[in-house]
Chain A
Amino acid sequence: MKEWVNLNRRDFLAAFGATYGVTACSWAAPRSWFLEYAGTEDGPPREQHINTLCSMCPGGCGLRVRLVHGCAVGVRGNKDHPINRGGLCSRASAVLQDVYNPDRLRQPLRCVGSRGSGQWEEIEWDAAIAMVADKLALLRGNGNPEGLSVVLGRGRGLSRTAWRRFARAYGTPNIIDAHPDDNLGVQPAVLATQGVAQRIGYDVAKAGYVLSFSSGWLDAHWSTEQSARVFADFRRGRPGFRPRWVHIEPRHSVTATKADEWIPIRPGTEGTLALGIAHVMIREGLYDRDFVGRHGFGFEDWTDRNGVSHLGFRRMVLQDYAPRKVEAGTGVVEGTIFRLAREFSSNGPAIAVGYDGGGCGAQATYHRMAIHCLNALAGSIDVPGGITVFQELTLLDGEFDIDDVATRGLANEPLDGPAADRRLGGSAIDLLTRAIKDRRPYSTEALILAEADPVFSLAEGAAFGAALSAVPFVAAISGYHHDSNRHADLILPALHGLHRWDFDVAHTLKGHPVVTVSQPVMDPPKRGRDAYSVVRALANRLGGKVGGALPWADAESAVEAVLRELFDRGEGATFGPANEESWAQLLETRGWRAPFSSDFAEFKRDVIAGGGWTDPIYFHGKWDRVLQRPLRRFAFSSAYLASSFEAIPAAGDPDEVSARLLPQCRAEPRTSDETYPLELYVYELPNLVGCSSPNLPWLNDIAGAYMFEKWRTWVEIHPETAERFGVTAHDHVEVRTPRGRLTLPVRLYTGVMHDVVAIPFGFGRKSGGRWCRGIGENPADLVDARTDPLTGTALWTSTRATLRKM
């Protein structure tokens, strides 16, 4: 008490300045927020901190929400969470603007008037669910369950599980991912080379050299939080050793800024450069002969069962990817290619990072294969500081009975293309567009958009929008209005992550699985429903075996079932302090048994209170797990592809056939195109990438800060290119491509390659909340997408463009 009395004037001022004189400000502030929270009626503020999952992006971070009087007023990172270790990215901090967003939908909406007219009326939940259920029951009654398509979006964990199980029980093979890359990353290339269905991680923190190929490691990674943290560890985690990071991209991005060197490259030719580097490594004998010899396949020419000899990686690379040729195609000079190859091979463990995120940066699968082959050449597969393969963890994946209708329905070919069009599995939503339009192989009668906005996020979103209009019934689960649910008959607003029970499986970049539990940190809004209960209500209404697909009464019991599965594994641990990692490493060498108690109740309590569960052990050198189908080898010449081509035709030039199994990245030298002399490069705005909500003013405000830009879409042009078109700073230009035109303000920027125009993706929504509708333009309107021959997805690169000064 004495100390309080002894407050001197300075202290007093400081106190005044810090708590800012509640009295003085409360009259000046338009509403009395203070009274609401710090009021004396309820005594001192009741404060709580609850661990939960961050639902803002697919990163799977742990949040620690601060509640005062039961109201979330702050978030911090969960210090024990293995993915974010107490850190938070910008999206996570903006979660409060999402949960309390004024434009968040609170009640089901039914479209009145013509679809797309934007006229809605609020209806009750039961009526809304009945509407969907009746439609689906009718479809099923007619024996056409495959007429339903479910498009999955940002929702993960329970909602994804629920929809998958529902679709199976209902009988539709059409459960399609709107953001395949977010969830698969470089997975198709990994499948083609390593033959594993799991995703891979880049253990950058321990790497000795990193070569990133248009990979927005710090711009557009699927886990911003982790990518930033391991980057910092890469840089300064080892005193006295500061390894090099070389970034290759048409544009000088944030990653380029933070890298030691930036090498501009023509858009869409990353794999070509990778093979150029491989050429030098092979010719100069700089590759890891031991790894290639022991674990490689198709490096040398090989002979199949029929005795036909096939072109090998080595011969192809030496023939076609001499640095001089590569220079002509990529714009990277010969000397640099030599230097990169030598640096890459002499600073192990070295990692070649292809684009690991979603959307516009995605590279063609052949290019990703080429880049990934560099990792094999450097011997970085499954070594510390190299490539890890995520440990598989599937939850709530148990079998259940389905009825005959479902069995018949599931026998249909999925609408996103028969296997022949997407040899590397996964979803191909771009093919769904075509199928809906052509009504082939069968027509789509109903479509559910589960937290997905493909119209905005796809390169061919406009076409998807047109296809949506052709579907007789569209229902959308979504917290906001957006470009896709504009075409819906019905919008069902799901509860926000901070209001519901949920779980999420994510991985650390070292490959450890992490399960984070999401719990309702505060009372959900009245009449709000979470996605799981919506799907379950739907299933129950359909009844029969469909109703049995989701046996858990509500989201909370479903999460409990998840915990039970984890408990039954008998491995892993609840989150502990950071030093856990070091003793886990110790245990890795001595065998490992879960230290938690045999009591499930205790386990459950610990997991929920601590935030989640993880398996902190990763064994390197388990080649059975790392190199799988079909040969248990790293396939420079894709054995997986060979098996998917069924039989390699005996006729024809064998080299031509077998070349299809090798990364094909031949880049033609730049041709002079009179009509479209430029190339378009679309990149994602950091801070908006993968964000589950577009209507967050804090994020929209900082998205363009790297370019001194705010709240609009601009086009970046190299000053010399601009000069040729008579364009100067602060002009507006019309960017025209074979697909469309946009008028945009110009930023002259030497950080973009000559003859390339770069446009950020992230703004340009045509409907939605007040902070995103009508802000900027969507460059997808310009993209002349090319279809990836191996996955069937549309690629953003390779659009030609021209400029006209306005």
Chain B
Amino acid sequence: MAKWGMTIDLDRCTACQACVTACQAENNLPPTGADDARRGRNYTWMEMIPFEGEGERPKAIERLLPRPCLHCDHPPCVKVCPVGATFRNEDGIVGQIFSRCIGCRYCTTACPYTARYFNWTTPSWPEPMGKHLNPDVSVRPKGVVEKCTLCHHRLQNARDHARAEERAMRPGEYSPACVESCPTGAMVFGDLSNPESEVSKLAHSRRAYKLLEDLGTEPKVIYLREGD
């Protein structure tokens, strides 16, 4: 099986947040407002995280990091789910079964990257905004946890196409919305288990590092440091 992952080259990335909005549109994230923001209720699966400089706070922002779910190989969230609503599949994708989740939010607290989100209320789209909803992705009801799925529905589509044409999936046939929209090509997506793939090569390059590497979560989203 493939092991899907991506590299994000922070030298190419301009922190434009195109990936953030592309993800929201692709995955049917509801509109939120000022009130939600004050209560920590608005969220995006892909998030731009500013890192301040070392030392005493506050410092100038030194790094801007787009952070999807990192799809850890040892995901702390999966371990703690009491009902198996979140799981790591054979492709290495950490998925979420919305229809099984009981909403205990154990996974959200266990994730060291805070990359999981909870539907505090029933999401709503004032008429006619609901028309833009992507029919490939379900709308999550209130009370369940949701997260980046690496646009798993796109993998399904790509697989179906390949199956219908009786061939293997081609590289680049499947890529998540964030990667596809990135204006700078900072995000490279592919099969980490294939040493010949571009993403594999980048993931083993000198600039590669993982976020909170010391936690041993083995993320499959790998960052490439700025600089030479």
Contacts and interface: CB of A to CB of B under 8 A. Distances in A.
A–B contact with Cβ pairs below 8 Å: the answer is: yes
Contacts, number: 255
Given A13-B97, A14-B152, A73 B135 contact: yes
A87 B138 contact: no
Given A73-B134, A93-B25, A702-B20, A29 B139 contact: yes
Interface string B19-60: 011101110010111100110001010011010010000111
A25 B141 contact: yes
Interface string B144-156: 0000010011011
Contacts of B99: 16, 20-21, 24-25, 28
A33 B135 contact: yes
B181 A93 contact: yes
A712 interface: yes
A18 B11 contact: no
Nearest to A18: B152
Chain A interface bracket (under 10, 10 to 19, 20 to 34, 35 or more): 35 or more
B91 A242 contact: no
B58 A25 contact: no
5 contacts: A10-B89, A14-B93, A93-B21, A258-B64, A262-B60
Nearest to A774: B34
A706 B61 contact: yes
A29 B95 contact: no
A229 interface: yes
B228 interface: yes
A100 B21 contact: no
Interface in B50-95: 50, 53, 58-64, 87, 89-91, 93, 95
Nearest to B24: A698
A552 interface: no
A348 interface: no
Nearest to A710: B37
A303 interface: no
A582 interface: no
Contacts of A89: 16, 18, 183
Interface of A: 3, 10-11, 13-22, 24-25, 28-31, 33-34, 37-38, 45, 68, 71-77, 84, 86-94, 96-97, 99-102, 218, 224-225, 227-229, 231-232, 235-236, 242, 252, 254, 256-258, 262, 686-687, 697-699, 701-702, 705-708, 710-712, 719, 729, 747-751, 770-771, 775
A751 B137 contact: no
B21 A702 contact: yes
Contacts of A84: 183
Contacts of A74: 25-26, 132, 134
Interface in B168-188: 180-186
Instruction: Identify which of B62, B124, B183 gathers the most chain A CB atoms within 10 Å of its CB.
Output: B183
A88 B184 CA distance: 10
Nearest to B85: A17
What's the interface size class on B, roughly? Answer: 35 or more
Given A18-B95, A706-B48, A90 B64 contact: no
B161 interface: no
A252 B138 contact: no
A203 to B, nearest CB: 17
Contact of A17 (B15, B142, B152): B152
Given A93-B24, A701-B44, A224 B132 contact: no
Most chain A beta carbons < 10 A, residue from B11, B25, B32, B37 = B25
B62 to A, nearest CB: 7
Interface string B196-228: 000000000000000000000000000000011
Nearest to A230: B184
Nearest to B126: A102
A30 B20 contact: no
A706 B21 contact: no
A708 B42 CA distance: 13
A698 B125 CA distance: 12
Given A25-B141, A89-B18, A258-B14, A705 B50 contact: yes
Given A252-B60, A770-B33, A702 B17 contact: yes
A711 B129 contact: no
B50 A708 contact: yes
Contacts of B29: 698
B212 to A, nearest CB: 19
Contacts of B227: 242
B38 to A, nearest CB: 8
A16 B97 CA distance: 7
Contacts of A225: 183
A750 B127 contact: no
B141 A232 contact: no
A553 B128 CA distance: 31
Nearest to A699: B21
Given A16-B97, A19-B138, A254 B182 contact: no
B132 A100 contact: yes
A20 B95 CA distance: 10
A230 to B, nearest CB: 9
B133 A228 contact: no
A705 B47 contact: yes
A21 B97 contact: yes
A164 B135 CA distance: 42
B129 A686 contact: no
A408 to B, nearest CB: 48
A706 B153 contact: no
Contact of A10 (B17, B90, B163): B90
B131 interface: yes
